[in-house]
Chain A
């Protein structure tokens, strides 16, 4: 730093001529600041809604996965160890469906061991009727091949199922499950 650069030169006629472009520059800067503010606001408004959509997609996948799993567990019965099926269902259930699983477990075990039932379930479609972040209602169509003492060769069955699920903790649990006629 020496004295020649530190000391401001006196205003010249040429500097006076610079005045109009400088005003233009101020206008340009103000304009750009406004434009940036406008675009930043638009970004701040739009992206949260896009993220919301992505969250909903992830949520839908999670709750449909839970519904499929429960239906599959319900329709896949192993005569050797029916208690294992019930334990699995208990972990996936809440509310009314838990009570149903508990209250029907004895009948279930008797029926399965008594007539040597084994069954393998498969889901053909699972879709969302309604869903919020807390609860959902899901329709499922499923099929199973049921083997028992009357039909050792296996008997195919079709099901239409309405499930209600609740979001509890990190998981979606089934609170209601109805086989529709």
Chain B
């Protein structure tokens, strides 16, 4: 026990001795060089780190613009296309394209106003996305402007009705999949 303490003290003394010896002139220059390099390395590590983080964000946003817009073109018509003969399947397919509170809103809209009326009017409506543009984009959210044309037939109409519209579509990326989180007509 006593022996180990003595050895420990001896080791400290040796270290101190060596350190004091190494603060000779070449040693000081060496320490200064190491310190300067250390500071430089730290500074570049911060710069490179922030740069990497920003770069990843930029790359992800660029990807989001392309993928989000493609999803907007593909999914928006699904929400606005249904046939009174296949209403449950159409509603389920459309709901699968939505996410969050908007999905619930969409379902209640279909249940409240489409399902009770569509069969009686033999309502068939088909939307087609004509064009789209990015209103804003971040890694996980894209707001798109989608131009639609829509053909509707029903017993209330003497001829098929053609509508053109512009809609603002909010899309979220959920587990790698783009889904509609909001839609409003402009």
Which A residues form the contact surface with B (CB < 8 A)?
14, 17-18, 21-22, 25, 28-29, 32-33, 35-36, 39-40, 42-43, 46-47, 49-50, 52-53, 124-129, 138-139, 141, 158, 160, 162, 180-181
Contact = CB atoms under 8 A, between A and B. Distances in A.
Contacts of B131: 129, 139, 162, 180
A139 B51 contact: no
A128 B33 CA distance: 52
Interface of B is mostly: helix
Contacts of A22: 26, 30
Chain B interface size range:
35 or more
Contacts of B130: 180
A13 to B, nearest CB: 11
Interface in B164-186: 164, 166, 168, 186
Contacts of A40: 44, 48
A160 B166 contact: yes
Q: Which 3 A-B pairs have the closest CB atoms?
A: A127-B133, A46-B51, A39-B44
B133 A129 contact: yes
Tell me which of B34, B38, B130, B186 has the highest count of chain A C-beta atoms within 10 A of its own C-beta: B186
A43 B40 CA distance: 13
